[in-house]
């Protein structure tokens, strides 16, 4: 793993991954700014924001996953220098994802009228409804943005979207300040203002990336002579066959963690608060791992396009090794500071004590979490998406959630039992996905020979 060939793969993967990670960081900053600024307005608005965003992302994560299906065929074609194929998939992806964005907005808008049916307080549901409807409108603009972003990732341009995402984060904070609290002559609109700020900043980011694509000389060959009037049903179906399983696998994982939230709430408020602290810390490390995963998908797709399966296997293994090394460092850091980290979030000693224990388990599943997401990226790059989706369904919902109930409630292990089940689910996913990549890439190599 330390030969010159692997060192080349490490450098290229990290070079692609760093801008992706930075772009994801900007989205976390948006969420942090929204929660902080809305929370400073009033607590009910914060509760309504949490409800609306949970429902929004439960639906919207599938759309984000579907757009990830655009990168592998683009990356494979780009590696071959096949500009026409890149253009063909790009225009089909843009139209398809725009339609899906509008469809998701329609679903979110419809669901906004049933918030009371989720057992929420009437005032929280009343505040959440218009906010959810407004941020739901941003689904269209985000998926159009994703169309351009995933295309650019496929041709190994990851910095452009990153800069725009940071600009979007800054604009969101400024608009929040103006519209939530009523500055610079604007009325104080509270949570509604936060929703408008989110919609406007996402719209601006989408427009900025479109302008960049159609004006930058580096994308000239990809936008010239695109036949916008000619589309192929076959290409739409191919992108959906790639994208839908990716979207479902992301849904299975995120919904499993959402269900763990629900089960933790059955135990008690302190346990739920501690659970949120541990999850938040784990999500920060996972942000880096997902960036490496996206870069690994591009790298394996490049080698697939070049029909160089030996390098393909090395590119996949390199992504896994990078995540394992990074996550090993995170294991050490969390293990050292697991007693002090919770104090950054809350002052209540009982919550700190529970969170400290959960962070020990969080440290244990860092390696599994990093490995499984890297394997998902490697498999996505070679367009192997159906079996990995079934693996995630089995690991999270076939094993993780049922085991969490048994350990947490039947065996009365409480919060620690639920977290042990998450560790087991992630480990199962990591093992099965690693075996899948090694087996699938070996069979591709044997066919080539």
What is the rounded average pLDDT of the residues 126-144?
92
Asked whether the beta carbons of 23 and 165 are under 8 A apart, the reply is: yes
The model's pTM: 0.89
- Torsion over CA of 135, 141, 142 and 147, rounded to 10 degrees? 160
**Could you write out the DSSP letters of every residue in 74-125?**
HHHHHHTT-HHHHHHHHHHHHHHHHHHHHHHHHHHHHHGGGGGGGT--HHHH
Confidence class of residue 23 from pLDDT cuts 50, 70 and 90?
confident
The better pLDDT of the pair 17, 123 is held by: 17
pLDDT in tens, 243-260: 999 999 999 988 898 888
**What is residue 400's predicted lDDT score, i.e. its pLDDT?**
94
**What is residue 343's predicted lDDT score, i.e. its pLDDT?**
84
227: left (phi over 0), alpha (psi -120 to 50) or beta: beta
**What is residue 120's predicted lDDT score, i.e. its pLDDT?**
67
What is the rounded average pLDDT of the residues 335-358?
85
With a cut of 60, say whether residue 409 has pLDDT above it.
Answer: yes
Please, what's the b/e burial string for 95-118 (b: 16 or more CB within 10 A of its CB; e: otherwise)? ebbeebbeebbeebbebbeebeee
Confidence class of residue 92 from pLDDT cuts 50, 70 and 90?
very high
Q: What three-state secondary structure class fits 228? A: coil
Confidence class of residue 438 from pLDDT cuts 50, 70 and 90?
very high
- Please give the Cα distance from 316 to 405 (Å, whole number): 35
Asked whether the beta carbons of 309 and 347 are under 8 A apart, the reply is: no
Confidence class of residue 122 from pLDDT cuts 50, 70 and 90?
confident
Handedness of CA 211, 217, 218, 222 (dihedral sign): positive
Residues whose CB falls within 8 Å of the CB of residue 289, separated by 6 or more in sequence, listed in order = 323, 326, 327, 369, 370, 373, 374
Among 142-156, 246-260, 368-382, name the one with the lowest average pLDDT.
246-260
With a cut of 80, say whether residue 46 has pLDDT above it.
Answer: no
The percentage of the chain sitting over the pLDDT mark of 90, rounded to a whole number, equals 62
With a cut of 80, say whether residue 34 has pLDDT above it.
Answer: no
- Please give the Cα distance from 347 to 50 (Å, whole number): 21
Token pair of 80 as six digits:
């071959």
- Please give the Cα distance from 209 to 423 (Å, whole number): 39
What is the rounded average pLDDT of the residues 53-74?
91
What is the rounded average pLDDT of the residues 410-416?
91
With a cut of 80, say whether residue 33 has pLDDT above it.
Answer: no
**What is residue 181's predicted lDDT score, i.e. its pLDDT?**
87
Which whole-number Å values give the CA distances from 96 to 17, 89, 246, 392, in the listed order?
A: 26, 10, 16, 25
Computed over every residue of the chain, the mean pLDDT equals: 90
With a cut of 80, say whether residue 36 has pLDDT above it.
Answer: no
Residue positions counted in the chain: 449
Confidence class of residue 19 from pLDDT cuts 50, 70 and 90?
very high
Please, what's the b/e burial string for 64-82 (b: 16 or more CB within 10 A of its CB; e: otherwise)? bbbbbbbbbbbbbbbbeee
How many CA within 13 A on the CB side of residue 180? 25
**What is residue 145's predicted lDDT score, i.e. its pLDDT?**
96
**What is residue 51's predicted lDDT score, i.e. its pLDDT?**
79
With a cut of 80, say whether residue 82 has pLDDT above it.
Answer: yes
**What is residue 350's predicted lDDT score, i.e. its pLDDT?**
85
Confidence class of residue 224 from pLDDT cuts 50, 70 and 90?
confident
Q: What share of the chain is helix, strand, coil (3-state, %, to 5)?
A: 90, 0, 10
The better pLDDT of the pair 1, 252 is held by: 252
């Amino acid at each position: 793993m330390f030969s010159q060939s692997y060192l080349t793969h490490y450098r290229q993967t990290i070079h692609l991954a760093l801008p992706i990670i930075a772009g994801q960081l900007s989205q976390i900053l948006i969420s942090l700014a929204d929660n902080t600024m809305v929370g400073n307005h009033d607590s009910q608005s914060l509760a309504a924001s949490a409800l609306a965003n949970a429902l929004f992302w439960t639906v919207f994560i599938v759309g984000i996953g579907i757009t990830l299906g655009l990168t592998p065929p683009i990356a494979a074609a780009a590696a071959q220098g096949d500009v026409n194929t890149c253009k063909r998939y790009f225009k089909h992806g843009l139209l398809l994802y725009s339609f899906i964005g509008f469809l998701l907005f329609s679903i979110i808008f419809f669901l906004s009228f049933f918030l009371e049916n989720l057992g929420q307080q009437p005032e929280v549901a009343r505040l959440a409804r218009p906010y959810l409807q407004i941020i739901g409108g941003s689904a269209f603009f985000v998926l159009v943005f994703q169309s351009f972003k995933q295309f650019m990732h496929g041709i190994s341009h990851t910095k452009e979207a990153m800069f725009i995402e940071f600009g979007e984060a800054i604009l969101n904070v400024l608009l929040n300040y103006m519209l939530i609290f009523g500055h610079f002559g604007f009325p104080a609109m509270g949570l509604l203002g936060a929703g408008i700020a989110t919609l406007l900043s996402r719209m601006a980011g989408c427009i900025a990336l479109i302008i960049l694509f159609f004006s930058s000389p580096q994308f000239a060959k990809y936008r010239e002579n695109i036949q916008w009037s000619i589309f192929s049903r076959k290409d739409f179906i191919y992108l959906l066959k790639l994208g839908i399983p990716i979207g479902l696998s992301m849904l299975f994982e995120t919904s499993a963690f959402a269900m763990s939230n629900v089960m933790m709430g059955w135990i008690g408020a302190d346990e739920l608060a501690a659970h949120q602290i541990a999850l938040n810390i784990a999500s920060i490390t996972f942000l880096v791992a997902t960036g490496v995963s996206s870069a690994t998908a591009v790298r394996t797709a490049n080698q697939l396009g070049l029909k160089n399966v030996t390098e393909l296997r090395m590119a996949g293994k390199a992504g896994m090794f990078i995540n394992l090394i990074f996550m090993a460092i995170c294991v050490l850091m969390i293990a050292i500071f697991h007693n002090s980290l919770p104090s950054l979030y809350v002052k209540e000693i009982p919550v700190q004590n529970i969170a400290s224990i959960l962070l020990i388990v969080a440290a244990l599943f860092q390696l599994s979490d990093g490995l499984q997401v890297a394997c998902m990226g490697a498999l996505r790059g070679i367009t192997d998406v159906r079996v990995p989706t079934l693996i995630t369904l089995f690991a999270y919902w076939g094993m993780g959630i049922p085991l969490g109930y048994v350990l947490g409630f039947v065996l009365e292990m409480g919060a620690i039992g639920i977290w042990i089940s998450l560790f087991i689910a992630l480990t199962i996913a990591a093992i099965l996905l690693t075996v899948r990549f090694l087996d699938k890439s070996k069979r591709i190599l044997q066919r080539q020979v």
